[in-house]
Structure 1
Amino acid sequence: MDASLQKDPLSEETRGWLLGLLWRPCAPDERATTLSMSPYLDYYSSRCQHFSHDGGIHLCVKSHSGLVDIADMILAGATRGQVCSSLACPPATNNTNRDDIDRTIHTTVDLCGSLLLMAQVGVHKFGFSRTTPLSWSGEQTLRQAVEQHFQPQQGLQPDHPRMNKLFTAKNLSLIAGIKIKWTNNIVDHLLLSDDDQSVAIFHHAEFLKYQQCLKSSPFPQAFIEETLRTLALLLPQNDSKPCRWLLAQITEHALDPCVARCGSLRAQNRRFEHFSVWHDRLVILQQAFDESSPRGIRQWWNDRRNSVQWYTFWVAILVFLMTLFFGLVQSVEGGLQVYLSWKAMNPGTS
């Protein structure tokens, strides 16, 4: 498929061709459809557009078929250095030096890596703004770079051994006032930012599920499974209220609809010990949730973490409103009595 990387939007033929060659499932009946993978294909198109500005002079391939050829080498287990050595990049001008050519090759490989991982690979001007990059050195395969970056992180000790059922993305937003930032960069998943006032959540559940049935995924299967469990934890499918909230989020932010179908976790599966890669980020996020206090009437109404405190607060509000109401009634009644008394004493006054 020699369609240009700068062509947008991708045709339906190109989208189907990309899924067929870029991602090869273990069985033909597991092949994804362009509809189910539409969020990923939109991401693919936007990344290609971003890297291809200035007429594509920053890339050494100009078509989707060129990217697929590089992806095949990467998924076959070639190191970054081997992939770069295999690429011949013609100079953009007669004055182009070797450093510029090498930079173009590495930018192209970074683009391909970002398309395979849905992550920012490397540090350069084409990356996502304010996001965390994944480092990929020359002697590593992409799979090795992923395994090095996503190592088990269980250094933090949680206050409680298990996350309770109120620990959901909806409650993070409505109770704790933590802004949910839906991200296309899996490296930023569950990362708190803005002084603990926002958290990134990677929403491409269909992409993750499809990785489980590929012949050669760049992700370890245990990592994919754990990441999907974090989505089931924060976006439980069996709770009707979070689902309604999530459906509104899907519509508003054009999220992957599959993120609403990740299931839910039983109480014993919400224990911190069952998470290794995302353990420390979950501990930090749980602490931010527990330490938050309502800052408005809506947050006070939604905050049921302490039922005694919740009932006490609203009973006090009710008593205050009733006192105010009856005080107002008594004032009106007293004023009316004074007026009627004055009226009776001055019958001739209109």
Structure 2
Amino acid sequence: MKVLGQISDLGNQKMAVPTMPLAYCSKDHLDSLFRCLWSSPACNISHSSCAAPCQSQWHDCSFQQTQKLGPYLNFYKRLVSKYDTNLPPGALTSHYDLHTLMQTIRCHPDLTRAELVETHLADHAVCKSGVATEDRDRAIDLAVRIMTMVNCQLQNRSLGYVEYGATFHGWPAETTFCDFMQSCFPSPLPGGPTSSDQVETDETLIKTNLTAVQVMKTAKLRFEATDDLRNHLLVDRKRRTVQIFHHAAFLKENLRCTRGQDRNATMTEQLKVCAVPRQIALEILDSIQKVLFRHSDAKSRAILRSLISKESFDPECLQFEYSSLRVPGEEEVPYRYFGSRMAELYEEVENPSPDGLFEKWLERKSGARYVMLATLIGVLFAVLLGFLSLAVSVYQSYISYQAWKHPVVG
């Protein structure tokens, strides 16, 4: 492919191979990344003289892509800078090795991981003589992580460079990349309503009534940024958090890349165009901009601005775009992947989980819990009144006894 050839040509410019070869990231490296992920055209303007966007559409301009994709590029730099070969030769000697690997995986989604290594990566840097098998697998996992924003690893093997506390989804050697992605995002809704009319009704109700304000004030949950697509809308009741995949600029680039895609395209056909399926990107962006932080709810938008300034959420979450991202028929997005998560969050708002030892002792469902709480308060109040009445009766009896024992003589 032309894009693959461009990346390979740049790869021939490699010099010395440090043990941390991806620690430095230049603008040329970012151009290569854009071409690999979204087939962006190469920029003919020297980066040393590029101080403003060119006259092309902004999403074709690497200068503006860099500006818009700031949070995602920071994530990319942070992740690749931790790649350490320990002892050369490593599986990856440059950013171009990584980008070529990403392009190869995307172009062959119907091959198993083992077949990919044996057939299409035999001449790649990750398979050259002397490279440890574990380092090769780490390189493949890193490539998938950057392409899909999913924590990937070969089963029973640690990546070793991702943040503490991250969860992983295994890509076994005998599984294709397509099957791996389908296992990451199962569809249809697990355990959800079976009637299509019921699903549509529930989604309409949720989209109408669920807002960020309700999530924070009623359910007492706080929003937490995540870099993993699979964790979007994931509720952690113990920590009282709901995770939001906040890389809106990354999602928008994927939607632009797949805008002309056939709606009936198979998963394999979709992955050859873009590593993140269009439906998944639509659902996540829709849940952020049209449901939780909708433009019509000023308080929810204020919460989003606070998350951007204090929690490093992507500022692109605030920028609503339609014509450049969606096509006719995508005005309302059905939630085939994240519908159950949305329903679970809505249920948490309607019937909050007990908070504190006293509430946990009571019934879990909010309606029954508050009825029982009111009943208990009534019983305690009645007991208190009983004790007060008893005290008054005892005191009156005492006064009567004293009056009888010590009569007042007129």
Match in the other structure for 1:291: 351
Match in the other structure for 2:104: 73
Q: 2:206 aligns with which of 158, 163, 173?
A: 163
Q: Which amino acid aligns with 1:173?
A: M
Displacement of 1:117 in angstroms is 0.8
Displacement of 1:25 in angstroms is 4.4
Match in the other structure for 2:276: 219
Q: 2:72 aligns with which of 20, 37, 40?
A: 40
Q: 2:288 aligns with which of 209, 231, 236?
A: 231
In structure 2, C-alpha distance between the alignment counterparts of 1:217 and 1:113, rounded to whole Å: 12
Is the 1:59–1:107 contact (alpha carbons within 8 Å) kept by the matching residues of 2? no
Match in the other structure for 2:185: 150
Q: 1:275 aligns with which of 312, 321, 335?
A: 335
Q: 1:60-139, aligned counterparts within 5 Å?
A: 60-77=91-108, 79=111, 80-85=113-118, 86=121, 87-91=126-130, 101-122=132-153, 124=158, 125-139=160-174
TM-score of the pair, normalised by structure 2? 0.60
Match in the other structure for 2:221: 178
Kindly provide the CA deviation profile for residues 36-63 of structure 1, in whole angstroms up to 9, marking residues without a partner as x.
11111111111112333x7576951121
Secondary structure of 1:173 counterpart: helix
Kindly provide the CA deviation profile for residues 223-261 of structure 1, in whole angstroms up to 9, marking residues without a partner as x.
222222222211212322222221121111222111122
Is the 2:227–2:246 contact (alpha carbons within 8 Å) kept by the matching residues of 1? yes
In structure 2, C-alpha distance between the alignment counterparts of 1:278 and 1:148, rounded to whole Å: 14
In structure 2, C-alpha distance between the alignment counterparts of 1:22 and 1:279, rounded to whole Å: 27
Give the 3 Å change call, closer, same or farther, for CA 83–57 of structure 1 in structure 2: farther
Secondary structure of 2:219 counterpart: coil
Match in the other structure for 1:242: 300
Is the 2:21–2:92 contact (alpha carbons within 8 Å) kept by the matching residues of 1? no
In structure 2, C-alpha distance between the alignment counterparts of 1:114 and 1:202, rounded to whole Å: 14
Seq. identity, %: 19
Q: Which amino acid aligns with 2:98?
A: L
Q: Which amino acid aligns with 1:43?
A: F
In structure 2, C-alpha distance between the alignment counterparts of 1:59 and 1:193, rounded to whole Å: 38
Displacement of 1:26 in angstroms is 9.0
Is the 1:121–1:134 contact (alpha carbons within 8 Å) kept by the matching residues of 2? yes
Displacement of 1:111 in angstroms is 0.4
Q: Which amino acid aligns with 1:24?
A: S
Match in the other structure for 2:26: 11
TM-score of the pair, normalised by structure 1? 0.69
Secondary structure of 2:152 counterpart: coil
In structure 2, C-alpha distance between the alignment counterparts of 1:292 and 1:26, rounded to whole Å: 50
Give the 3 Å change call, closer, same or farther, for CA 275–7 of structure 1 in structure 2: closer
Q: Which amino acid aligns with 1:231?
A: I
Displacement of 1:283 in angstroms is 1.6
In structure 1, C-alpha distance between the alignment counterparts of 2:107 and 2:345, rounded to whole Å: 37
Count how many residue pairs are aligned between Structure 1 and Structure 2: 284
Match in the other structure for 1:253: 311
In the TM superposition, structure 1's runs of 4+ consecutive aligned residues that sit over 6 Å from their partners are none
Match in the other structure for 1:201: 244
Match in the other structure for 2:364: none
Give the 3 Å change call, closer, same or farther, for CA 275–109 of structure 1 in structure 2: same
In structure 2, C-alpha distance between the alignment counterparts of 1:69 and 1:77, rounded to whole Å: 13
Structure 1 stretch displaced more, 126-135 or 178-187 = 126-135
In structure 1, C-alpha distance between the alignment counterparts of 2:304 and 2:94, rounded to whole Å: 37
Q: Which amino acid aligns with 1:228?
A: L
Say what the alpha-carbon RMSD is for the aligned residues. Answer: 3.6
Give the 3 Å change call, closer, same or farther, for CA 143–26 of structure 1 in structure 2: farther
In structure 2, C-alpha distance between the alignment counterparts of 1:44 and 1:255, rounded to whole Å: 15
Give the 3 Å change call, closer, same or farther, for CA 257–38 of structure 1 in structure 2: same
Structure 2 segments unaligned to the other structure (5+ residues): 1-9, 43-55, 259-272, 323-329, 356-410
Kindly provide the CA deviation profile for residues 247-277 of structure 1, in whole angstroms up to 9, marking residues without a partner as x.
121111222111122479xxxx999x93221
Q: Which amino acid aligns with 1:156?
A: G
Give the 3 Å change call, closer, same or farther, for CA 139–26 of structure 1 in structure 2: farther
Match in the other structure for 1:49: 81
In structure 2, C-alpha distance between the alignment counterparts of 1:60 and 1:223, rounded to whole Å: 31
Structure 1 stretch displaced more, 10-19 or 204-213 = 10-19
Displacement of 1:280 in angstroms is 1.4
In structure 1, C-alpha distance between the alignment counterparts of 2:114 and 2:283, rounded to whole Å: 30
